[in-house]
Amino acid sequence: MSSGKRRFPRSVLWLMLAFALGLVGWGILQRLLDRRDISEETRLAAVPPVVLISPKHGPKVRHLALPANLAAWYEAPIYAQVSGYVKMWYKDYGAHVKQGEVLAVISTPSLDAQFAAAKAHYDVVLARYKLALITAARWSALKGTQAVSRQEVDVQQANAAAQKAELEAAAHEVERYQALENFKKIVAPFDGIVTSRLVNVGDYVNGDGGNLNSRGTAGELFSVADVRKMRVFVSVPQDYASVISPKITAELSVPQYPGRIFKARFLATANAFNAATRTVTTELMLDNKDDLLWPNSYATAHITAPGNPSILIVPTNALIFRGEGMQLAKVVGNHVHLLNVQVGINFGLTCQVLTGVTTRDRLIANPTADLLEGDEVRIVPETRGYNTPLPPPVPLSNATTGDMRRAGAMAPEEGEAQDDDTSTVKGRKAAARLRGQLEARREAEKEKASAVASGDNKAPGHDDARNSAAPPTNPPQALPSAPSQGGRGP
C-alpha cells in the first residue's frame, strides 16, 4: 500500500452512505405523509360538512314587535264658514285652548251688509203682517151683515195668514245671518292643542271651504287635537290575528324616549283583513296626561300573548323548499334522510313545525339545494353565534365560577351538569386536543426519520424504518361534533 495515498476510514464511508440513504428515506417518508394528508383532505372535501340542530318546544309566551301609529283622541280641522279677510288670529302652534276659545276673527263687510238688509226686510214684513191682522179683524167684524160679502172676509183672513208666513221666513233669514255673523269668530271645538295654523292677518278666506291659496284651492285654517288620551293603530298580520282579544296589552316604545315604556290597552279591532296587506287594523288606547306623546308619531308595539309550547320550532334556514313541499334534512348514521313536514306560523328567524319531526331528531341547520336522500355528510362543530346566541359579557371582577366555565376559561367539575354553551366549548376543546395529538404524532415520525439518517438507530431497510414509514395503526377518529341547539350532539 502506497504511503502517498490517504484512505478514508471505513466508518466514515459508512456514515456518509447512511446519511445519503437517510436523506432518501426522509424524502420518501415525507412524500408518503403528504400523499396521505392529501388523500384524507380529498376524502373529507368530497363529503359536505353540516351543522346539526334539534327542534325545540315553542315558547310559553309570544312576544310580537309590530309598527304602530299614534293618533290624537280627537282631532278636527277647522274651516271658515263665511267669506272675508282675517282680521286677527290669537292662537299659534302648540297653544293649549279650551272649548269655545277664540282662535281668529274674520272681517266680513259684505256679510254685515246682508245681515242689516235682512233685519230691515224683517221690519217691513212685520209691519205688513200687523196691517193684515187689523184689516182681517175689521172684515171679520162685518161678517154676517149686508156690508161685506163672505168671500171678501175670507180673502182678508188669507192675506193675514200669508203675511204671517212671510214674517216667519224673514225671521229665519235674520237668524241665518246671525249664525253667519257668529262664524266670524273661529273657536276651538273642544279642549286641546293647536297643531296647525295656516292663516295670517289679511288672508282672504272662502266660506265654501276655508282659505284660498295661490292656486285658488280652499284649505283648513286651524287644526285642534285632544291629546290627553291617544289612539294607537297597529296592523296585525293574519298569522297573529288569533292573539287579538280584549285581554291583550301592549308596551309602546318611541324613538324620542329611548328606554321608556308606555302601557296601552285594547280598544277595538276591525274584524276584517286588508286585501292588499293581509293585516287587520287593531286599535289600542293609552293615557297621555303629561303630553309626552304627539299625534302622528311612529311607535313600536310590543304585544304579549300566550304561546303554545306543544308545537316545535326550527330555524327558518333549515327548511327546504321543493316541489314535494316543505322538507327538513335529518341525519341518520352520517346520511341524509329527507322529512316531509307541515309548517305553521313563521316568526321570521324561526317557524313552527306542526308534523313530521320530534325533539330527538338531528337536523341539518342550513341544507344546500342539491342535497339528496341518502347523501353522506360530515358533522362539524357548530359555530358560536350561528344558531346559539353569544352570552353577554361578564366583567372579570364580578364573574362567578359558572360564568367563567361558560366562557371556556375553566373546565367543569366532575359530575357537574353542563348547559348547551359549556358542551359546545367542551366539543371544541376535544377537537383541538385531537388535532394536537395528530401534530405530535407527525413530529415524532419526523424525528424518528432524522434519527435513522444520523445513524443513531438501525440502518435503513430494517423493520424499524419500515414501521416508521407505515401509517399509524390507530387512525384519527372523526372530529366530535358540537351539541346541537336543542340538545347534545352525537
**Helix axis angle, 10-46 to 420-454, nearest 10°:** 150
**CA torsion sign, 194 to 198 to 200 to 206?**
negative
Q: Are residue 147 and residue 129 in the same domain, yes or no?
A: yes
Three-state DSSP class for 122? Answer: helix
* Rounded-to-integer distance, Cα 406 and Cα 248, Å: 37
Please indicate, yes or no, if residue 261 is contained in any of the structural domains. yes
Q: What is the per-residue pLDDT for 409?
A: 39
| Dihedral-angle region of residue 415 (phi above 0 means left; psi in -120 to 50 means alpha; beta otherwise) | left
Q: What is the per-residue pLDDT for 175?
A: 94
Residue 365: domain span: 50-59+310-379
Q: Are residue 152 and residue 164 in the same domain, yes or no?
A: yes
Q: Are residue 171 and residue 96 in the same domain, yes or no?
A: yes
Q: What is the per-residue pLDDT for 413?
A: 41
**CA torsion sign, 261 to 262 to 265 to 271?**
negative
Q: What is the per-residue pLDDT for 44?
A: 62
Please indicate, yes or no, if residue 351 is contained in any of the structural domains. yes
Please indicate, yes or no, if residue 391 is contained in any of the structural domains. no
Q: Are residue 230 and residue 262 in the same domain, yes or no?
A: yes
Please compute Rg for the chain using Cα positions: 48
What are residue 207's DSSP bridge partners? none
Q: Read off the pLDDT of residues 188-211 as tens digits, 9 standing for 90 and up.
A: 999 999 999 998 999 898 886 555
Q: Annotate 218-232 with DSSP letters as a single string.
A: EE-SEEEEEEEEEEE
* Rounded-to-integer distance, Cα 268 and Cα 244, Å: 9
* Rounded-to-integer distance, Cα 266 and Cα 272, Å: 17
Please indicate, yes or no, if residue 4 is contained in any of the structural domains. no
Q: Are residue 288 and residue 349 in the same domain, yes or no?
A: no
Please indicate, yes or no, if residue 404 is contained in any of the structural domains. no
Q: What is the per-residue pLDDT for 249?
A: 83
Percent residues over pLDDT 70 in the chain: 74
Please indicate, yes or no, if residue 392 is contained in any of the structural domains. no
Evaluate whether 299 touches 70 at the Cβ level (below 8 Å). yes
Per-residue pLDDT of the chain (490 residues; tens, 9 = 90+): 445 556 667 777 778 888 888 888 888 888 877 777 776 666 666 678 889 999 999 888 888 889 999 999 999 999 998 989 999 999 999 999 999 999 999 999 999 999 999 999 999 999 999 999 988 888 888 877 777 788 888 888 898 899 999 999 999 999 999 999 999 999 999 999 999 999 899 989 888 655 555 444 557 899 999 999 999 999 998 878 878 888 788 999 999 999 899 999 999 999 899 899 999 999 999 999 888 999 999 999 998 877 788 889 999 999 998 888 889 999 998 899 999 999 988 877 889 899 889 989 999 988 988 888 888 888 888 765 545 544 444 443 344 444 444 444 344 444 343 444 444 445 566 566 666 766 777 777 777 666 655 554 444 444 443 444 444 444 444 434 444 434 333 3
- Which residues, in sequence order, are CB contacts of 230 under 8 Å at separation 6+? 70, 71, 72, 73, 285, 286, 288, 293, 295
Residue 350 phi/psi, 5° resolution?
A: -130, 165
Q: Are residue 362 and residue 453 in the same domain, yes or no?
A: no
Residue 189 phi/psi, 5° resolution?
A: -75, -20
Q: What is the per-residue pLDDT for 429?
A: 61
**Helix axis angle, 150-182 to 109-141, nearest 10°:** 160
Please indicate, yes or no, if residue 400 is contained in any of the structural domains. no
- Centre a 10 Å sphere on the Cβ of residue 266 and count the other Cβ atoms it contains: 18
Query: How many residues can be counted in the chain?
Result: 490
Domain boundary among 201, 219, 237: 219
CA dihedral 444, 450, 454, 457 (to 10 degrees): 40
Q: DSSP letter at 376?
A: B
Q: Are residue 113 and residue 195 in the same domain, yes or no?
A: yes
- Which residues, in sequence order, are CB contacts of 173 under 8 Å at separation 6+? 118, 121, 122
* Rounded-to-integer distance, Cα 482 and Cα 435, Å: 15
Q: What is the per-residue pLDDT for 456?
A: 44
Domain count, the chain: 4
Supply the pTM of this predicted model. Answer: 0.55
Q: Are residue 20 and residue 109 in the same domain, yes or no?
A: no
Return the closest-CA partner of residue 380 out of 334, 329, 436: 334
Q: Are residue 17 and residue 55 in the same domain, yes or no?
A: no
Q: What is the per-residue pLDDT for 402?
A: 47
Please indicate, yes or no, if residue 250 is contained in any of the structural domains. yes
Residue 63 phi/psi, 5° resolution?
A: -115, 120
Return the closest-CA partner of residue 22 out of 447, 453, 445, 450: 453
What are residue 356's DSSP bridge partners? none
Q: Read off the pLDDT of residues 79-103 as tens digits, 9 standing for 90 and up.
A: 998 989 999 999 999 999 999 999 9
Q: Are residue 129 and residue 94 in the same domain, yes or no?
A: yes
Domain boundary among 219, 251, 270: 219
Specify the residue for cell string 351539541.
483
Q: What is the per-residue pLDDT for 58?
A: 87
Q: What is the per-residue pLDDT for 422?
A: 44
Q: What is the per-residue pLDDT for 401?
A: 44
First to last CA, the chain: 77
When the pLDDT of each residue in the chain is averaged and rounded to a whole number, the result is: 78
Evaluate whether 317 touches 261 at the Cβ level (below 8 Å). no
Helix (H) or strand (E) holding 116: helix 109-141
* Rounded-to-integer distance, Cα 271 and Cα 179, Å: 42
